[in-house]
Amino acid sequence: MRLRPGAAALWWTMLCSGCSAADRDDRGAPLLPPASTAGLVPTGDLAGGLDRGAGIRSPYTEAADQQAVYDGEVLYNQMNCVDCHGYQGQGNMCPSLVDGEWLFGDSPVDQFNSVYAGRAKGMPAYGKLLPDDSIWKIVAYLEALKTRHDKKPDTQ
């Protein structure tokens, strides 16, 4: 059994169980945890050997669940994935998520395990911070990003 710090569990109960559209302010910007809160929560740093194996499955199948994709985008921003992997997933100080190259496998389960357990070259282990359901939502967003990128190359 993994132990999550109490602060993390409480925080997620308050802010992100579901992360629905109601969690946005009137300008549509996602609500964020207080700036002083998230830093108290360790992301974990031990990568590898702790993933959940191949016998897990996303509750959000295909691209049908748009709410999961939406919630996943909110989490992608809140968890600072965005500044590392880019505002369209095109990569920044961390690898691109839309270039078709997957160092650790491209299946949803592979992606879940990368987020959950971290990877050796600096990807934090979010399994200590996020409930499984939230990680699956991030994975749903990553799947959607891939599709968007295939359809519409970055035109910025």
Partner 1 sequence: MLTCFALATACSSEPDGKRTEVRGGSAVRATPSVASGGAQPPDDGQWTTQAKTVTGWRYSGLAEIDTASVKGLREAWSFSTGTLRGHEGAPLVVGSTMYLVTPFPNTAYAIDLAASVQPAVKWRFDPNPQQRAVGKACCDVVIRGWAYADGKLIYNLLDAHTVAVDAATGKEVWRTPMDDVKRGATMTMAPLVVGDKVIVGNSGGEMGVHGWLAALDVATGREVWRAFVTGSDSLVRLDSTFRPYYEALRQPNLGVSTWPPDEWARGGGASWGWVTYDSTQHLIFYGTSNPSPWNQEQRPGANLFTAAILARDPDTGMARWAYQTTPHDEWDYDGVNENTVLDLPVGGAGQPDVPVIVHFDRNAFVYVIDRRNGRVLSATPFQALNWADSVNLATGLPHVREDKRTWQDKWTRNICPNALGAKNHPPTAWSPRTRLLYAPTMNLCMDFKARPVSYIAGTPYWGAETKTVVGPGGHRGELLAWDPVARRKVWGVTEKFPVHSGVLATAGDVVFYGTVEGDFKALHARTGALLWSKRLSSGIIGAPMTYRAPDGKQYVAVLSGIGGVMGLFKGEAGYPPQGGTLHVFALP
Residues 6+ apart with CB under 8 A from 53: 113
Hey, which residues between 135 and 154 contact partner 1 (CB under 8 A)?
154
Q: Residue 127 Cβ, how far from partner 1 at the closest point, in Å? A: 14
Total residues belonging to the chain? 156
24 φ/ψ angles, rounded to the nearest 5 degrees:
-115, 150
Hey, which residues between 10 and 29 contact partner 1 (CB under 8 A)?
27, 29
66 lies in the binding site for partner 1 (CB under 8 A): no
Task: Give the Cα separation of 24 and 133 in Å (integer).
Answer: 19
96 lies in the binding site for partner 1 (CB under 8 A): no
Site size for partner 1 (CB under 8 A): 40
CA dihedral 65, 67, 73, 75 (to 10 degrees): -110
Contact with partner 1 (CB under 8 A) among 39, 49, 53, 55: 39
Contact with partner 1 (CB under 8 A) among 41, 98, 115, 139: 41
Instruction: Report the 10 Å Cβ neighbour count for 57.
Output: 11
Q: Where are the alpha helices (DSSP H) in the chain?
A: 6-15, 66-78, 81-85, 108-117, 132-151
Contact with partner 1 (CB under 8 A) among 19, 68, 74, 129: 129
Give whichever of 6 and 39 is closer to partner 1, judged by the CB atom: 39
Tokens linked to 119: 């990877």
* Residue type (1 letter), 57: R
Q: Residue 55 Cβ, how far from partner 1 at the closest point, in Å? A: 27
Residues in contact with partner 1 by CB under 8 A are 27, 29, 32-39, 41-43, 45, 47, 77-84, 86-88, 90, 92-94, 119-124, 129, 154-156
